[in-house]
Amino acid sequence: MAFANKSDWIWWNGAFVPWDEANVHITAHALHYGSSVFEGIRAYATPDGPAVFRLEPHVQRMVRSCRVIRIDLPYSTAEIGQAILDTVARNGHDSCYIRPLVFRGSEVLGLDPRKCPVEVVIITWEWGRYLGPEAIEQGVDVMVSSWRRMAPDTLPAMAKIGGQYVNSQLISLDAKLNGFAEAIALDNNGYVCEGPGENLFAVVEGKVLTPPLWASVLPGITRDCVMTLARDLGYEVREEMLAREMLYMADELFFTGTAAEISPIRSVDHIQIGNGKRGPVTAQLQEAFFGIIEGRTPDKYGWLTPVRANSSVPGSD
Ligand code: PPE
């Protein structure tokens, strides 16, 4: 199997399975219909060892996404959190990306999935810079995709459901096939929405703006961090509908996401943003963010959960 950076073990329904043996049958429901929920979490290397970033809100979002598609999760929030810490520890990572996945397995096909077993897995691997090694400092060139995000009553954008990522793939491929690092999608009403796997922020006249949750965006956990950090740095932060032209007029633009972290955008549709480099507000937010996750500044918000052989999730005792 050609998967770069694979780790030794995958947690599967409570047991550790060797990576190469963690296979599903071809009739698995999720494979046919996208009936799955997933998360993306990072563990970072800190001076005190690896620590999982914002474990609780990620697990909580997974539980809520399952609720939306009527999957009964057979584990509690605390059990999933503990399993994530155990998997990172067992695989011996200093830092890694963590992919918990809940999916409907193999029993029946057809659109009533209720007889299919609910499978829960946790996969970890080392994943570098999502938008390329230079993205964090240099910024990326992006385009506005002709594919839009889902309308509110079509698919639940606030839930992280596997099948919805076909829309994300169309947006991502649009960018890559046109020579861009990434694309921005508009929502059903033509307002700025998000990237295929990232939220979006604009800095306009010193204010930090981001589309609201009612613009079909995922309630990103990095988005939440950036809003908190920006407010604490004294910026006015507003959730606001953004017209497409605001992208070209903004002083700074950046993506946020677990995989993308905080990635500056230096051009949209070949129009330069600001001075075509990472802007000062973006740099300040990156410094605040990376300072915490690299353990250089105190974790005053309690965002890091240390991974130790016997580590436990707060509140799980
Ligand atoms: N919007 C979408 C559609 C999205 O998938 C993500 C995460 C975000 C916003 C940012 O959310 P958060 O990670 O909580 O800050 N995308 C995940 C999957 C990326 C992938 O290619 O796979 C991620 O960043 O882990």
Ligand 1 pocket, 220 CB below 6 A?
A: yes
Specify the pairing of strand 271-272 against strand 9-12. unpaired
pLDDT tens for each residue of 41-52: 999 999 999 999
Four-CA torsion 162, 164, 167, 168, nearest 10 degrees: -50
239: left (phi over 0), alpha (psi -120 to 50) or beta: beta
Ligand 1 pocket, 256 CB below 6 A?
A: yes
Ligand 1 centroid, distance to 258 Cα (angstroms): 6
Ligand 1 centroid, distance to 191 Cα (angstroms): 20
Domain boundaries, the chain: 9-128+305-310, 135-278
Residue nearest to atom 2 of ligand 1 (CA): 197
pLDDT tens for each residue of 97-113: 999 999 999 999 999 99
Ligand 1 centroid, distance to 40 Cα (angstroms): 7
Confirm or reject CATH 3.40.190.10 for domain 135-278, answering yes or no.
Answer: no
pTM of the shown model: 0.96
Is residue 160 among the annotated active site residues? yes
Confirm or reject CATH 3.30.470.10 for domain 9-128+305-310, answering yes or no.
Answer: yes
Quick check: 291 pLDDT over 70? yes
Q: What pLDDT is attached to residue 2? A: 62
Tokens of 1: 């199997």
Quick check: 210 pLDDT over 90? yes
Say if CB 62 and CB 80 are below 8 A apart: yes
Say if CB 257 and CB 130 are below 8 A apart: yes
Say if CB 103 and CB 161 are below 8 A apart: no
Ligand 1 pocket, 264 CB below 6 A?
A: no
Quick check: 309 pLDDT over 80? no
Determine the atom of ligand 1 nearest the C-alpha atom of 61.
Answer: 14
Residue nearest to atom 10 of ligand 1 (CA): 257
Task: List, in sequence order, every residue forming a beta bridge with 102; answer none if it has no partner.
Answer: 37, 120
Q: What pLDDT is attached to residue 128? A: 86
